[in-house]
Amino acid sequence: MAQVTSVAVPGQLLGPVSEYQPGPGTHVHNSNLYASILGPVRKLNPPKPAGPQKRLTKITPAVPAALPTLSIERNISAASQDGGSKGKAEILPEVNSTVLCRVTRITPKQAQVAILVVGETVLDGEWQGLIRVQDVRATEKDKVKIFESFRPGDIVRAVVISLGDQSNYYLATASNNLGVIMATSEAGNAMYPISWKEYKDPETGASESRKVAKPF
Amino acid sequence: MTDRRRINGPSGGTLAPVYSKYITKDASTQIQRPVRSRAPNVLRKMFLKTGVTPSASGSAYLELEASKSTNTNTPGLASLSTSGLKLTCTVHGPRPLPKSAPFSPHIILSTHVKYAPFATRKRRGYLRDSSERDLGVHLETALRGVIIGDRWPKSGVEVIITILEGEEDQWWGDDRGRGHVTAGEWGMMSVLSGCITVASAAIADAGIDCVDVVSGGVAAVVKGQGKNASVLVLDPVPSEHEEILAAAIVAYLPGRDEITDLWVKGDIGNKELRSSSYEELADNAVQAALGSHRVLVAALKETADMKLGRS
């Protein structure tokens, strides 16, 4: 559905708000839509209602037709075939985005992590994140112990719940598919998950407790 | 503050020696002040390219052509070489703020402008001096009005400009006692205008959200031919004029018709000189900014085409 029209430079007029919806990379000024980053403009038409409409059993006011969305792709080098590291645009963790992070430090109340990947994008810098003890698990929150859930060096899949304080994003693993996805044992071997709360070392046979993410 | 980490040259600056056999009284070989060959409303040719520093998130390079010396039969002295303007700009970020920084719901912009030690005829120090800090503050005001800060919470962006070749404040021949010393620092105006344009290109290259592309333009009132006559010129080169009466630089957003930074210097509105008004000066600076905006847009389109692998 997406179609490329032309390259826009910041500040370029794209069209009136009455005809288009603003997407990423655009902004609205004086009820007109303008580009705010450099890149190709994509027009995404609203999804058409699938299948034949049901017979109307009551009279409703006509739904205003959804407008096509104009957006500008941030990562414009991804469109080219080479896909090198040049031109890779930085993105930020946002609330509700899924991130991959490495545990750097644990205390009884929280686990400090470094966010490495947001969605599908690998970040340039390391952004600090924090998983508090009450955000580790959805149930029996009072029985959670951080050192039975994470260890430094683990790779964790988490979701951003808040932009947090001055330096940390607040993350949560309170869902079945969130938690530790890669862990090493105390002996230094890569482990595999054996249950929702345990990882096992294949060489020593010892098992360690973690908040395990459900494999897909 | 003095620089204690490096061995610095003499603070006053040095001149290449001019041997007496070259100083002739013959009028044809006498070294002359370069003369403005462009019409008053024509800008210097500009070269602008983005993506020059691979390690930065965004970068740009800007060059203005050097003014030509009028008599070419003078001996080739190194001190005769005229310089244009050469600027590189790198943008780093958006990246995490340091741990000590307080929470910020929008992007923190910081700008650094630095002359290379060899950028001007008078050698610059390695530490930033007051005029460089001044340029940085002006650049920051010019850019702050353009960037959509709330799209990047909790992050910082650094704009670093290195001036490889700066504009001279006056013709070097005026240094040696001949003529009176003018108010000085006129070169900073066109340097700032170049800084704004090049920073705007680098920020667009870095993919930071902007309201518009901002471009810089300079206009000046210079002393004309007759007595008490003055001429309004765009994009002045200080070394080409005997005396600059006033100059203005604007950072202009053509899409919105807004000015984010304005700096006027000099004496203007003098009845005896029948010179132009402030409004006229600022309007002409806006015209100069529109000229550089066209170059900027063309350079950005080239960048996008290159990244898309079209060309």
In this prediction, residues A57-74 reach a mean pLDDT of 76
Which residues of A fall within a CB distance of 8 Å from B102? 166
Whether residues B93 and A90 touch (CB distance < 8 A) is answered with: yes
Preceding peptide of B94 cis, ω within 30° = yes
Phi (first) and psi of residue A53, to 5 degrees: -65, 145
As given in the structure block, the two tokens for residue B213 are 């592309």
In the prediction, which pLDDT does B262 show?
A: 94
CATH 2.40.30.10, domain A98-209, yes or no: no
Residue A9 contacts B where some CB pair is shorter than 8 Å: yes
Question: A90: which residues sit within 8 A by CB, 6+ positions away?
Answer: A123, A124, A125, B57, B93, B94, B95, B207
Q: How many degrees, rounded to 5, is the angle at CA B136 between CA B135 and CA B142?
A: 90
Q: Are strands A179-182 and B215-223 parallel, antiparallel or unpaired?
A: unpaired
Which residues of A fall within a CB distance of 8 Å from B253? 11
CA atoms within 13 A on the CB side of A108: 2
Give residue-wise pLDDT tens across range B187-225.
889 999 999 999 999 999 998 999 999 999 999 988 877
In the prediction, which pLDDT does B6 show?
A: 83
Give residue-wise pLDDT tens across range B148-187.
988 888 889 999 999 998 887 777 666 554 444 445 678 8
pLDDT at A58 over 60: yes
Which residues of B fall within a CB distance of 8 Å from A10? 204, 209-213
* Secondary structure of residue B64 in the 3-state scheme: strand
Closest in A37, A125, A166 to B101, CB measured: A166
In the prediction, which pLDDT does B28 show?
A: 56
Q: What residue ranges of chain A are covered by domains with CATH 2.40.50.880? A: 3-47+67-78
Q: Which residue of B has its CA nearest to A95?
A: B153
Residue B305 contacts A where some CB pair is shorter than 8 Å: yes
Residue B49 contacts A where some CB pair is shorter than 8 Å: no
Per-chain mean pLDDT for chain B = 83
Q: Which residue of A has its CA nearest to B206?
A: A89
Q: Which residue of B has its CA nearest to A88?
A: B57
In the prediction, which pLDDT does A159 show?
A: 95
Q: Looking at the domain covering B45-70+83-308, what would its CATH class be? A: alpha beta
**Domain spans, chain B:** 45-70+83-308
CATH 1.20.1250.20, domain A3-47+67-78, yes or no: no
Q: Are strands A69-72 and A21-22 parallel, antiparallel or unpaired?
A: parallel
Nearest CA-CA distance, residue B58 and chain A, Å: 8
- As a whole number of angstroms, the distance between CA A155 and CA B283 comes to 58
- B259 in Cβ contact with B252 (< 8 Å): yes
- As a whole number of angstroms, the distance between CA B43 and CA B41 comes to 7
Which residues of B fall within a CB distance of 8 Å from A80? 307-309
Per-chain mean pLDDT for chain A = 84
Whether residues B95 and A128 touch (CB distance < 8 A) is answered with: no
Is residue A84 very low, low, confident or very high in pLDDT (cuts 50, 70, 90)? very low
In the prediction, which pLDDT does A70 show?
A: 86
Whether residues B211 and A10 touch (CB distance < 8 A) is answered with: yes
Phi (first) and psi of residue A193, to 5 degrees: -75, 140
Give residue-wise pLDDT tens across range B78-89.
555 566 899 999
pLDDT at A11 over 60: yes
- As a whole number of angstroms, the distance between CA B41 and CA B44 comes to 10
Is residue B127 very low, low, confident or very high in pLDDT (cuts 50, 70, 90)? confident
ipTM over 0.85: no
Q: Which residue of A has its CA nearest to B94?
A: A90
Give residue-wise pLDDT tens across range B247-280.
999 999 998 899 999 999 887 766 665 567 888 8
Give residue-wise pLDDT tens across range A175-200.
999 999 999 998 888 999 999 989 99
